[in-house]
Structure formats: C-alpha cells, structure tokens
Structure 1
Amino acid sequence: MINLFFSNGLVLVYDVKDWITLRRSHRIIGDIVGTTGRIPSLPIRILPEEALLLIEKGIATMKSIHIEKSDSGHFKKFDESLLAAQAIEYKKTRKKQLESMIDKIVEGRKKNDDFRDAEEILNEELEKSSNVTSSNMLWPIWLTLQTVLPFKLKTVNYKDMYLNYTSELKCAVFSDLWSKGYYITEGVKFGGDFLVYCGDPICYHAIFIVKCIVATESISPNEIVAHGRLGTSVRKRFVLASMVDGAVCYVTVNWIDA
C-alpha cells in the first residue's frame, strides 16, 4: 500500500520507492516540489484527481500531517538526523565506488612512493571524499517520512474533502482518461486542466490538452477559436470534456486554415 500525505492542501509522496511504483505501475507522474538549492528532490506533489483515483482503487492510503507548537523544538534534531542518515548512506555508496577502482588508485600511489596496503589507502580516500555537510546534502530519499519526521500523523478520509481542491467533473474525466491507458499531467500551462500522453512524458510529447467544462454552461465562439489556435500552435489537439447522461464525452477542437 502506497502512503500519501496531506499537508496544507497538498497531497505529497515522500518515499522514492512509492514514487517509482506510482510511475511505473500506475501511470501517476506527480510533480517534484522539493529542492536542495539547484537540485530538485522529494517530496512529489500529486494532483487531487490522482489522489482520489489511487484511494478509490485501493492503491494508496492517506494521512494528514499535523504540526503543533510543541513540535517546533524538534526541527533542529530533525535536520541533524537527516544529515547523519545521509552521511552513512553516502559513505556506503562511495566505498563501493572506491573499491571498484582501488587497484588503479594503489598503482598511482606507488608511482609517488606510497607503498601502503590497499585497505589503508581506501580508508584514507573514503574519509577525504565522503564528507556530507548541510550545504551539500540532498534529501535522503532512502528514508521514509514515518521514520524520520517528528510530526504527528493522522489517517484522513480524503473522499470527504477532495471537492475543496477539485471537482467531480475533473475527477471523472481524469479517471476515464486513465482507464484508457493514457498518462496524464496538469495542463494549466497550456490553458487546460490536463495534458494527455500516449506514454511516459519522459519519452513522449502530450497529444491532447483537455479542458473540463460543465455541459449545461455555455462557451463563447471566441473561446473555442482561442482553444483551437492554442492547440495548433503547440502541435496538440485541444479537447473539451463534459459529463452527459452520466458518461464522459469529448469534443476535439481543430483549427483549419482556410
């Protein structure tokens, strides 16, 4: 079971194994929102529609993160525990790297009249090259949120609150597209609700920009023209999605030069 965490209106994934499972097995992409300076890192934010789908299909459970005033004194210890844990893991990784090239290192030392045994040289190189500080550490993705955070966790029924962050229409459209085998990401940057891909976005460009509209509400001709032009300009099809008689229906807007 994959663990999702709800905090300040966001649904987050902190465990890298869970993120890999979501992407490889369930076509859930998410968006990296963590950062360590210039390097993106965990956690991963997933869409409300993705969260609801995962929960309804029994793939994931959700817990809410509660931060109380009494927790504030734990932040320093928390940072220190992350740093210590990463130092241990990085040292293990660095040791494996050095062991794979120790013969060449020893040979180079001999040319400089250093005839110590391989183990002593390896330990020296390891100490010199495996130092992790707060200025160069990355988020330790091999740790899980439950084991390191001092915050209190509480199981939350996301179904009771998801409409605060999305709509039934968007959830229905997302679920329908997902059931057809597509990969789906957020589509705000292209003026829609979702971007739809035939494969993983790492390898494929989006083919559809999907905008969800209520069937009983009107849409102006100017909006339709704008959607068609936008889709053509970015080499995608602009699709309007609605619910009609309980089923998701789609209309594709094509721009044709006369």
Structure 2
Amino acid sequence: MAPVRITVSNRRAFVWDVDDIAVIRSQHRICGLLTGTLPRLAQQNAFLGVPLVLMPQEVALLVDKGFAVLVDDALSHRFPSQAEANRWADLQTADIESQLTAAEELARSRHTNAADKSMSEEAVRKRKAREAKRAAKTQQADDSAVFAPQQPEEDAVPAAQASVFTISLPASSTGMPWYEPEGKAYATLDAARAAGLWMYPETLQDRAQYGVFRDMWEQGFFMGIGIRFGADYLVYPGDPLRYHSHFAATVIEAPDAPMRPMEIVAHGRLGTATKKAHLLCSWDDEKRTVSYLSIEWAGFG
C-alpha cells in the first residue's frame, strides 16, 4: 500500500484525502482532528469535515513507521493554464450531469412502478365521491340554468416541483492536474528537517512528548488530546468513537524532574472526578525509555 500523503503548510500537517483519513484511523490508530466545515452548513460545529489536522506526535509516528510521507504543499501546486482549468471543469460538469441523469431515471422508474400498482380501496372510494359530486353539480347547473365556474378538483395533482438529488463530488484535490507532489515528498523526518519543512521533534520536551506517545501507541492504545482534562494525552483502549478514555497522561521530561505535591493531588482528584486514572509518564532521554506511575484520588476517614 502506498504511503499516505501528509501535506505540510506553515509547519502544520493536514490530510485532505478521505480515503487516507480512513486508512490512518482504521489501520494505524491515528485519529487527528477534523477541522473543515460542511458544505452549506458552515455555521454548525457539531460535525466537521476535511482537512484532518494531525498532532506533531502523530505526524512523526506515521513517518517513522513508514506509513506516510511529508509533502511540501507550497511547492506542490502550480498555476494551471486556462485550457487545463477548462478541461477539469468540463470533466466535473460531465460527472455531475451523468449522476443527475442516473438519479432522474431511477426516480422515474420508481414513480412508474408505483403508478402501475392497483388502486387501493381508499383511492376507489375517493374517485366515486368525486364522480358523484361532479354529477350533482352538473344536475344543479341544468336545473337553475345559471353558469357557475368550474371548481378545481380537491385531489388534483399539484404542479410538478423540482426534485432534489444528492450528487457526489471528489473530496480531494489530488485529482487536479496542477497538483504535482512528486519530487516534493519526504519519506523520513531527517530529510524533511534538512529541507526545512518539518522540524519536530526538536527540543527535549518534544522528544519526551513524542517518546511517550510512541511508547503507548506501540502498546496498542489510541491517543488523543488531553488538554481538556489537564493532561497531555487521553489514552483509549480502542477507537474513541466506541470507547471512553481510561487514562489521562502527563509527560515528565526527565526521571528526576521536580513536581510539587499540589500537582500530584490535582491530577489525582481531576482524574478520579472524570472517571480516569492519571498517568505520570517519565521520559529518560538517554535510555529512550518511559516509566509510568498511575495515581488516583482516595478518600480517608
């Protein structure tokens, strides 16, 4: 399987292809965060769409494992010629028209099949009532010899209204002929760093955060952002769409890094209040290992 393309713009990483988003979530346990608005529903924020924004730790992991490559977004786009733009627009229009034709034919066949069915008893009763009413009006007009304008039938079929169909459009720009990522992709973090495209991890804090993220990911966990719970990460036993997080994890840069007692108390109480255990994850930069300490608030007396 070809590596997923992660486009980098202004030191931020995005995934634009919906198929790539599905792959990294279902196969590589990387969730990211959808930030794009939905068409015609730009004001709502309950459901979002592409692009998918990745944490720096997620980007580093995907590239280190060979699951993805980093693409310089600024250099991958070129200005299209007028002929290319017109050709691409014509292809899009032809695709939309073919989908509309297929949808209209399907709707027409369903309507024909429904009309071919025998009328129900209720329809027969209404038809007889209309015929009786029409006959009574005709007789009344003959007796009084007074002209009365014909009233529209109650069950007359209303004027045809425009049908609404759902049209599928590509959710990726990779099909555009003026998008050329070949030659602007980097398969390793070192290559991307040498090109000035991606510098993470750079500091001790970066290495500690990435080391903890990678170690827990390799143990089979899903990792999410934990800032809402006073931590660096939320740790899930499975996909966050199906499971609640079991741990809130805080990264400590070194085994001998100082920590105030009030921090430990706060982490324990907050974790317990949100039905989680709080993990203190200590990173050893020399040994490249992580040690874990789980704390949980307990009442006495």
In the superposition, the TM-score normalised over structure 2's length comes to: 0.65
1:146 to 161, 174, 177: 174
Contact between 2:14 and 2:51, CA under 8 Å: does it hold in 1? yes
- After superposition, residues 96-245 of structure 1 pair within 5 angstroms as 99=106, 102-107=108-113, 128-130=163-165, 140-141=170-171, 143=172, 145-148=173-176, 150=178, 153=181, 154-156=184-186, 158-159=189-190, 160=193, 161-163=199-201, 167-215=206-254, 216-244=256-284, 245=287
1:21 to 1:189, Cα distance in 2 relative to 1, 3 A: same
1:131 to 1:182, Cα distance in 2 relative to 1, 3 A: closer
Q: Distance in 2 between matches of 1:199 and 1:10?
A: 26
Amino acid at match of 1:232: T
1:227 to 1:64, Cα distance in 2 relative to 1, 3 A: same
Q: Distance in 2 between matches of 1:103 and 1:256?
A: 68
Q: Distance in 2 between matches of 1:248 and 1:86?
A: 55
Contact between 2:7 and 2:73, CA under 8 Å: does it hold in 1? yes
Amino acid at match of 2:60: L
Contact between 2:234 and 2:245, CA under 8 Å: does it hold in 1? yes
Amino acid at match of 1:54: L
1:92 to 85, 99, 107: 99
Shift of 1:155: 2.5
1:65 to 1:208, Cα distance in 2 relative to 1, 3 A: same
Shift of 1:158: 3.7
Contact between 2:100 and 2:165, CA under 8 Å: does it hold in 1? no
**Secondary structure of the equivalent of 2:27?**
helix
Structure 1, unaligned runs of 5 or more:
112-123, 133-137
Contact between 1:196 and 1:210, CA under 8 Å: does it hold in 2? yes
Contact between 2:33 and 2:53, CA under 8 Å: does it hold in 1? yes
Amino acid at match of 1:210: A
Q: If each structure's strand is expressed as a fraction of its own residues, which one has the higher value?
A: 1
Task: Give the share of equivalent positions with the same residue, in percent.
Answer: 27
Structure 2, unaligned runs of 5 or more:
120-159, 194-198
1:251 aligns with 2:257: no
Q: Which residue of 1 aligns with 2:57?
A: 49
Task: String of CA shifts for 1:159-180, please: whole Å, max 9, x gaps.
Answer: 4211359711111111111111
1:58 to 1:94, Cα distance in 2 relative to 1, 3 A: farther
Contact between 1:184 and 1:194, CA under 8 Å: does it hold in 2? yes
Contact between 1:33 and 1:42, CA under 8 Å: does it hold in 2? yes
Shift of 1:181: 0.7
Task: String of CA shifts for 1:64-122, please: whole Å, max 9, x gaps.
Answer: 11179x85999xx69xx6897488359638836962x65431245679xxxxxxxxxxx
